[in-house]
């Protein structure tokens, strides 16, 4: 199994280097892959990860890898075998959570929410009487999960935010940007997101500056960010979502990893249907 994972990481790096779309690199380019733009694709062909990212987290910009491309490069079962899934699964990936970074689109000059790791909670109404209590409960639950996921959690804190990191309207003024003090959520309970049982929830409550925190938490526990996010997700209740924005492969340093939606340790990949 370890040998297979090692081989898959090497293949991931090779594919990612060749297949990244729109890259301005002067290095020789491999086959050109057209990613599946949800703005121009019927909703029934979206991955479940895409539906959660756009509908529940309100984050746009990500694209799916077409299912035919995923089969062509051995990421899922061959065309003769149906994609299997349960509870919103993306199907059985041949390389498991390793995946490939060919899903990634190069970052532009201005960072967008879909290019940043994000975490968000919807607190069930029975856990809190108002939004302030819900925020406190979410942060307490978050920190408890971190204490179990990492050997030595960093002192970096997340701050409750009404929107995702790098989204418009996250901060009230330049001073709050400098202090990383986003506008907190407010308001009454709402209908829950698509992946939880029907009911009322307080949210969404975004974990501001999550990427900085999880990077240091993982580093101090001698993990990469991908492993750290998965381990943290495994210890969080299913009303928390982590968006792993992925990492491009860096030659001779890391094989990279694909973006994914994580819910209670379950990875939803951005592979269309």
Instruction: Give, rounded to a whole angstrom, the gap between the first and last alpha carbons of the chain.
Output: 28
pLDDT digits (tens, 9 = 90+) for 176-189: 999 999 999 999 99
H/E/C letters for each residue in 133-156?
Answer: HHHHHHHHHHHHHHHHHCCCCCCC
Neighbours of 196 (CB within 10 A): 17
Separation of alpha carbons 195 and 88, rounded Å: 8
pLDDT digits (tens, 9 = 90+) for 4-49: 344 344 444 434 433 333 333 444 444 557 789 999 999 999 999 9
Separation of alpha carbons 142 and 136, rounded Å: 10
Separation of alpha carbons 27 and 39, rounded Å: 30
- Among candidate residues 148, 107, 110, 141, the one with its CA nearest the CA of residue 245: 107
The pTM score is 0.80
Give residue 183's pLDDT. 97
Give residue 45's pLDDT. 95
Residues of the chain with pLDDT below 50 are 1-30, 78-102, 105-107
Asked if residue 219 lies in contact with residue 80, where contact means CB atoms within 8 angstroms, the answer is no
């Amino acid at each position: 199994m370890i040998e297979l994972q090692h081989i898959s990481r090497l293949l991931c790096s090779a594919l990612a280097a060749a297949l990244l779309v729109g890259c301005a690199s002067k290095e020789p380019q491999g086959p050109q892959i057209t990613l599946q733009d949800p703005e121009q694709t019927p909703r029934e062909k979206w991955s479940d990860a895409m539906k959660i990212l756009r509908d529940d987290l309100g984050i746009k910009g990500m694209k799916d890898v077409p299912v035919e491309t995923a089969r062509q490069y051995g990421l899922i079962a061959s065309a003769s075998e149906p994609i299997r899934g349960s509870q919103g699964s993306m199907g059985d990936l041949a390389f498991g959570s390793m995946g490939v970074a060919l899903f990634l689109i190069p970052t532009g000059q201005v960072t967008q929410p879909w290019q940043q790791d994000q975490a968000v909670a919807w607190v069930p109404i029975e856990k809190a009487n108002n939004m302030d209590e819900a925020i406190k409960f979410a942060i307490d639950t978050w920190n408890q999960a971190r204490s179990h996921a990492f050997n030595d959690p960093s002192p970096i804190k997340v701050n409750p935010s009404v929107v995702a990191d790098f989204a418009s309207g996250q901060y009230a003024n330049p001073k709050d940007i400098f202090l990383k003090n986003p506008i907190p959520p407010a308001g009454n309970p709402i209908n829950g997101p698509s992946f939880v049982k029907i009911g009322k929830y307080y949210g969404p409550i975004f974990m501001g500056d999550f990427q900085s925190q999880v990077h240091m938490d993982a580093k101090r526990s001698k993990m990469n960010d991908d492993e750290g996010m998965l381990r943290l997700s495994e210890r969080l209740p299913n009303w928390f979502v982590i968006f792993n924005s992925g990492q491009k492969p860096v030659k001779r340093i890391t094989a990279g990893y694909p973006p994914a939606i994580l819910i209670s340790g379950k990875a939803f990949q951005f592979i269309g249907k």
